[in-house]
Amino acid sequence: MEKKVYTKPTINKIEFAMASKYGSPLRTQKVRRDIDGIDVHELTEKFGSPLFVFSESKIEELYTKLYTAFNSRYKDVTFGWSYKTNYLNGICKVFHKLGSIAEVVSEFEYQKARALGIEGKDIIFNGPYKPYNDLKLAVKEGAKIHIDNFFELNDLEKIADELNQTINVAIRVNMDTGIYPQWSRFGFNYESGEAYDAIKRIYETGKMNLVGLHTHIGTFMLDANAYRLATTKLMMLKEIAEKEFNAEIEYIDLGGGFASKSHLKGIYQSPEVVVPTAEDYAEAITNAIYEHNKSKRLPKLYLETGRALIDEAGFLLTSVVGYKRFPDGKKGYILDAGVNLLYTSTWYNFNVELDKRYEGENEPSVLNGPLCMNIDVIEENIMLPPLDRGSLLTLSPVGAYNYTQSMQFIRYKPAVVLITKNGEAKLIKEIDDLATINYKEVE
């Protein structure tokens, strides 16, 4: 079957004629009638509104582009799908099919990965809190344990005694990469010598072997050079561990944080201008490895990229349910999707696309959600033509974090659909109902 290629919506000859007649409204209206060939109205009629929609073709496109950028420069690279970014089973399965292992930050996510058939050896266990029993299970199953703090190190020493085995571990390292605010919360600090002290402690007790070094320097990182600095410091720490403690560092892990094409509030240039390319990130990291490697063998490279691989593959369809005129003159549209579903609206301006061309002049408008809260604002300044009750809007990119961070608040969480590569709209999460809400409540 011929592979489908994701394309941006185009305008037809009739719409072009309208552009000539009406001028600015057509030039400023953005329209999306379909997602991967399936009409947006057909999707909401079948699965309801609001509705999360994901494109498998776009996921594969994003994955292939980033993986090729790294693999063409550095052969021993593996992606770890970040479950916190989007832990829906249907989404995780796509990434595992593409070759990703699992990266988790909680016992819940660890259990989810195991339930999907991912073996312990193919799970990276991060996070600042790993409950003791779950940490012990992960050790038994051979997961890649990334130690976050000295209390966790204490737990692992105890687990090593209980299991009568030496445990292979990695440590998380935080550092100054020139980015403000500095992410100093996760792991042991590089500059203060805390990371060195953690390595020393590991080898003083003799209950663990250090096999990996990990860092996660931030999120939505717009400076690829920060990754060059982070990689350089990990490679320097690797050299110290190997020389002073005879460690055998098998891998380094540069975490996630690569930016997507979301439009960050407060930055007026387009994402196409400010967001580094896949090649920018790949060159920064791989060049630093080659430059600073002092061992006979190059380390394996892990990347826990989430946002950059899923954000642009996610859409939210939402309907206009009403409108009113505000005292300041703006027209306020009420949508059936609000901040309970769009957590990232705090930081990003979404791409808003209409379901058709609308006649009439654009005017300053506000997009509000359906919640009984004044903060339920999706977009507070947007130029829109007169919309009707029932008009359907497509918001994007919303693939990263919005579903996993969405709240079961006031309204039921909506259904989720994955459009497969063969053009099928596949339901991967049903809409919640009262039974969902009441499940496990105790009388």
Over 91-157, what HEC string results? HHHHHHHHCCEEEECCHHHHHHHHHCCCCHHHEEECCCCCCHHHHHHHHHCCCEEEECCHHHHHHHH
Task: Reduce the DSSP state of residue 15 to 3 states and report it.
Answer: helix
Chain position carrying tokens 């496109």: 61
Domain with CATH 3.20.20.10 in the chain: 87-305
Whether residue 50 is preceded by a cis peptide bond, meaning omega within 30 degrees of 0, is yes
Whether residue 128 is preceded by a cis peptide bond, meaning omega within 30 degrees of 0, is no
In the CATH scheme, what is the code of domain 28-55+312-438? 2.40.37.10
pLDDT at 220: 94
What DSSP designation does 399 have? -
The one-letter amino acid code at 47 reads F
pLDDT at 397: 97
Assigned token pair, 94: 């796509």
Q: Give the total residue count for the chain.
A: 443
In the CATH scheme, what is the code of domain 87-305? 3.20.20.10
pLDDT at 232: 98
Assigned token pair, 110: 């660890």
Q: What is the pTM of this model?
A: 0.91
DSSP structure string for 297-363: SPPEEEE---HHHHGGGEEEEEEEEEEEE-TTS-EEEEES--TTT-GGGGTEEPEEEESS---S--E
pLDDT at 268: 85
pLDDT (tens place) for every residue of the chain, 443 residues total? 434 333 333 334 333 333 333 333 344 789 999 999 999 999 999 999 999 999 999 999 999 999 999 999 999 999 999 999 999 999 999 999 999 999 999 999 999 999 999 999 999 999 999 999 999 999 999 999 999 999 999 999 999 999 999 999 999 999 999 988 888 899 999 999 999 999 999 999 999 999 999 999 999 999 999 999 999 999 999 999 999 999 999 999 999 999 999 999 888 899 999 999 999 999 999 999 999 999 989 999 999 999 999 999 999 999 999 999 999 999 999 999 999 999 999 999 999 999 999 999 999 999 999 999 999 999 999 999 999 999 999 999 999 999 999 998 999 999 999 999 999 999 999 999 999 999 999 98
CA–CA separation, 104 and 125 (whole Å)? 5
Q: What angle do CA 185, 187, 191 make, to 5 degrees?
A: 90
Q: Comparing C-alpha atoms, which of 132, 135, 59, 129 is closest to residue 98?
A: 59
111-120: long-range contacts, CB 8 A cutoff, minimum separation 24: 112/83, 112/87, 113/83, 114/141, 116/89, 116/92
Domain with CATH 2.40.37.10 in the chain: 28-55+312-438
CA dihedral of 143, 144, 148, 151, whole degrees rounded to 10: 50
